[in-house]
Structure 1
């Protein structure tokens, strides 16, 4: 096997291990390493196969966000983590706008309207549980991830993996924000939401990387 194959298999193996055995457990150095390495290796893979720079940057920034979110148990690095993911979404938006777009149709307009309406309603529903200092960061983050999803939905059907990946990414953030802000403080993570969150998140990232890389040509 080539080094590229080893890298992508290593990323998938670490991601599977994290989701199946670590995603709901308390913070630890081992958990931090496995989580961060899985997305970092995905960024390395995208770079080695000639993936667009925004995809490599988006994956690398997401790996940095993973590091911040797992760095401690007190959520002191929650804002830096959100900032890293915010920048990752900006990178993805920049890429999606350069890719071929689908012809406008009622189906695309309906999908875009449904995505934006659902996002606004979810953020409105979540708002009462947000700490005051987190309200504007969450609102801004919600806006950028909806822009990322909308940009993906406008793509030509040849980029279906990217569309699916973007929606999976959004779904993972819905679970994450619900667990972070609506779940009681200090309560242990719940296994099923944690597992679903991780595989939606990593799977979405992998589909975006795969869909944007020359290997799909």
Structure 2
């Protein structure tokens, strides 16, 4: 088995294990290692496969963000958001460099729908966000919408990356609900937590596969 294939399989195993065991409960050291290791290994795989450095950087920054968000939200949420902000900021020029599908009504309609939906969601969410976090949330919303708009404009050959980016956004939408709208005194929302990790990790995998253009075998 090639080294790259082994790294990819290890990433998938860790990602699935985190989804099944840890994503809906307290993490602990083992959960932290499994969570960060799954995406970190994906970044290593992208590097071994000769993927663009911006892809490797985005995945590595995401792994850092995963590590922060595995801790207590009141302490580590802002550093985690900063790491993911930089990850999305790396994806934006990466998608631009990969070209655009051209000016077509479906692409532009999709971009408009994404931006309008994102703005409306942020407007609904912000009253529940504590004042000191409102600017970071608005900045984060802006960069992830830019990332999504760039992904929607990718040529059709990169459809896996487009789907992965939209899954990433969907994961962030659910996570923001859990962080800012879900009552703190209620038990963890297990289905939502499963959806957050499944969409996020699956989305990152599809982005990496879509950009590198090959399935590791």
What TM bracket, shorter-length normalisation? over 0.9
- How many residues are treated as equivalent by the alignment? 215
Separation (CA, whole Å) in 1 of partners of 2:92 and 2:73 = 31
State yes or no: 1:111 paired with 2:110.
yes
Alignment of 1:147-186 (within 5 A): 147-186=146-185
Aligned residues of 1:44 and 1:56 also touching (Cα < 8 A):
yes
Aligned residues of 1:15 and 1:34 also touching (Cα < 8 A):
yes
Displacement of 1:106 in angstroms is 1.1
**Could you tell me which residue of structure 2 aligns to residue 29 of structure 1?**
29
Alignment of 1:75-94 (within 5 A): 75-94=74-93
RMSD: 1.1
Separation (CA, whole Å) in 2 of partners of 1:143 and 1:74 = 21
TM-score (ref. length: structure 2): 0.96
Any stretches of 5+ residues in structure 2 without a counterpart? none
Displacement of 1:73 in angstroms is 2.4
Aligned residues of 1:51 and 1:214 also touching (Cα < 8 A):
no
Any stretches of 5+ residues in structure 1 without a counterpart? none
Secondary structure at the counterpart of residue 77 of structure 1:
helix
**Could you tell me which residue of structure 2 aligns to residue 69 of structure 1?**
69
Displacement of 1:186 in angstroms is 4.8
**Could you tell me which residue of structure 1 aligns to residue 48 of structure 2?**
48
Displacement of 1:175 in angstroms is 0.5
Question: Residue 25 and residue 109 in structure 1: after superposition, are their counterparts in 2 closer, same or farther (change >3 A)?
Answer: same
Separation (CA, whole Å) in 1 of partners of 2:34 and 2:74 = 19
Separation (CA, whole Å) in 2 of partners of 1:32 and 1:90 = 24
**Could you tell me which residue of structure 2 aligns to residue 38 of structure 1?**
38
Aligned residues of 1:172 and 1:197 also touching (Cα < 8 A):
yes
Alignment of 1:4-19 (within 5 A): 4-19=4-19
Aligned residues of 1:49 and 1:215 also touching (Cα < 8 A):
no
Displacement of 1:103 in angstroms is 1.8
Separation (CA, whole Å) in 1 of partners of 2:213 and 2:194 = 30
Secondary structure at the counterpart of residue 66 of structure 2:
helix
TM-score (ref. length: structure 1): 0.96
